[in-house]
A and B are shown apart, each in its own frame.
Chain A
């Protein structure tokens, strides 16, 4: 960084005080209050970790503090929520919010513009904006040109960019909504360290929401826990709360150190080789996705009744390898070939199979479940594969009922797949694949965005499948997943 922030750009940040008094919120289409009767006070400079089950309204609290919950058109509020002495809804510039999804919070095309965006909106004079931008980028350690394209940044860099954009506004209250949930381990460390630096230099008040407690414990001095129905469950020093409420928190899906979820031991024995690669180069063409690329892969073989984790940094070609093994993308060079029971009369190369032939052979679970939803109810969704196989309607109904029960989706049989929670969507996307009983399962980041409870459930389910003799191939960043579940790890 050539521009050392000057004294003019370092004007002091005044840490904010937060006060909730009987505060609550009801989203307009619902009759149930998302949050109710919240009372808490956060002193200037305090660093709070906000915990709770999925759906307990943690994100709603952060959005309310940031003043972006919307007006009376979108819902009803009760009680008071104050930043310093003013209602949170008109505290523009006092509060900065960083969200979970890196792709949905990059706003502009160029790095410098993106950081300047908040300043412009606050009416900061032009001469003052660029020093602020440089200072903010330096503080989060993002050492790239101002006209660098934001699309080219990694996930961790995008999150630090968002943090810089917030910092340039000089907020007294920093809100982080699961800022590292979508990042690989390197990205998590990058972001956490940047936040630590920022807090050190600004002394701003912090509220962070995150399932992975261990990431933030070194930084916070207080933990607030929301109950599943949106009330206050616990509030106190981190050690005290985690000690006294550890069990309960783990039950809610929080990763509490020292409270691992039990995953049943596996009993499978490896079977014969069903899928293998030779001299394989994977890649995607330049035509549609902006950046085409090619990666040479090691020769791999996959046995029935085993689980393989494929790991490696972003850009190592994990997902592309997965899609190629699954018979969805053609290899650039070399072969991926099926054998024996997997081939079962079809051509040797999965990419040559018809879509219908894939169903009973290789099932793919995409990273984003919504990419593979096709119907408007869960039951219909599960019927798609079996119908394509032209199974009898009695057989289809039997399979669906079994899956609904086994994956605890029976209460949701008539719900629209897109309305499910993150954990439910993941279970459904696995269920749609299981409905046609493929011998090989390819999963891309299956544990992404899952809380500890849904994580353990998923592992339990996948374990059963391996025991039944299926070959599971998972592309993943998740260390815990690799250590607990994989028979073998392939590092790219």
Chain B
């Protein structure tokens, strides 16, 4: 059983996440970020994502948010009472408020961006990008074909690590070996890519004939609803901030 939301065209999910982010980026205040976050948390249960998966995938956002908040607490624009000052660090009323706003904002922008992408399948996304958004098909399909090689590269990377141990140079630090391994991975990747290009060209890819699509990428009611929902959350958040006088435009 697939959840209806997982069948929504990925470009609509992507569009919704980007529209929402575009609204929230404009201001730094705890009202807009908090409002958006509440609406998002209310909506997520209806997207058919299992709790375990949700927390696992969004964990980095929950970690990043307080850390970004701390940075702003220490280095945010100061105003009001200054509580502590040392070298470049200044903790003040202003930076406290900004830190809270920043924390909520990171979560409010980050969560939907991650959650909406959880159910995205690369093939469906490529179909949508090329057919709905009309991005050049040669590039979209080239990227899609290359994406399939991720598993092979991950495997290559493992073997490169094992091979370094086998060659007697595995005792040095892991970080120090990275440049060499990156280089070897690139050689292998480019070799594979060149072969893949031959295989694709041999099947008429990039030729003069206008391409057809075996499967149509649809953009219908559900897709429009998804887009509008994303935009609505952003607009409501902005309205709340403006209405309560908390709107704080990022520039100036």
A residues contacting B by CB (< 8 A) are 63, 66-68, 92-93, 95-97, 99, 101, 103-110, 112-113, 116-126, 129-130, 133, 150-151, 162, 165-166, 169, 288-290, 323, 326, 328-329, 354-356, 358-359, 363-364, 366, 368, 370-374, 384-385, 388-389, 418, 432-433, 436
Q: Which residues of A contact B209 (CB under 8 A)?
A: 92, 121-123
Range for the number of chain B residues in contact with chain A: 35 or more
Give residues 35-69 of B contacting A (CB, 8 Å): none
Q: List 16 A-B contacts (CB under 8 A).
A: A68-B202, A95-B202, A107-B145, A120-B211, A121-B203, A121-B209, A126-B213, A133-B214, A288-B157, A355-B164, A355-B168, A359-B168, A363-B166, A368-B159, A371-B184, A385-B168
A92:B163 contact, CB within 8 angstroms: no
Q: Is A328 touching B165 in the complex (CB atoms < 8 A)?
A: yes
| Minimal beta-carbon separation of A403 from chain B (angstroms) | 15
Q: Is the CB of A107 within 8 A of B199?
A: yes
**Contacting residues of chain B (140-159) with chain A, CB-CB under 8 angstroms:** 144-145, 148-149, 151-152, 154-159
Which chain A residues border B148 with CB–CB below 8 Å? Answer: 106-109, 150-151
**Contacts of B123 on A, CB cut-off 8 Å?**
108-110, 113
Say whether, besides A129-B214, A359-B168, A372-B167, A104 and B192 are in contact (CB < 8 Å). Answer: yes
Chain B contacts for A356, CB-based, 8 A: 168, 171
Give the A-binding residues of B (Cβ under 8 A). Answer: 122-123, 144-145, 148-149, 151-152, 154-160, 162-171, 180, 184, 187-188, 191-192, 195-196, 198-216
A370–B187 CA distance with the chains assembled, in angstroms: 9
Contact call B154/A355, Cβ cutoff below 8 A:
no
Given the complex of chains A and B, what is the CA–CA distance between A374 and B161 in angstroms? 12
Give bound CA distance, A231 to B195, whole Å.
25
Given the known interface contacts A126-B214, A374-B180, the answer about A366 and B159 at a Cβ–Cβ threshold of 8 Å is yes
Q: Which residues of B contact A370 (CB under 8 A)?
A: 184, 187-188, 191
A445 to B51, CA, bound (A): 44
Whether the Cβ atoms of A129 and B192 lie closer than 8 Å is no
B-side contacts of A110, CB under 8 Å: 123
A372 x B166 contact (CB < 8 A): yes
CA gap between A371 and B166 in the complex, in Å: 11
Evaluate contact between A120 and B212: CB separation under 8 angstroms.
yes
B211 touching A123, Cβ below 8 Å: yes
Q: Cα distance A289–B159 when bound, in Å?
A: 11
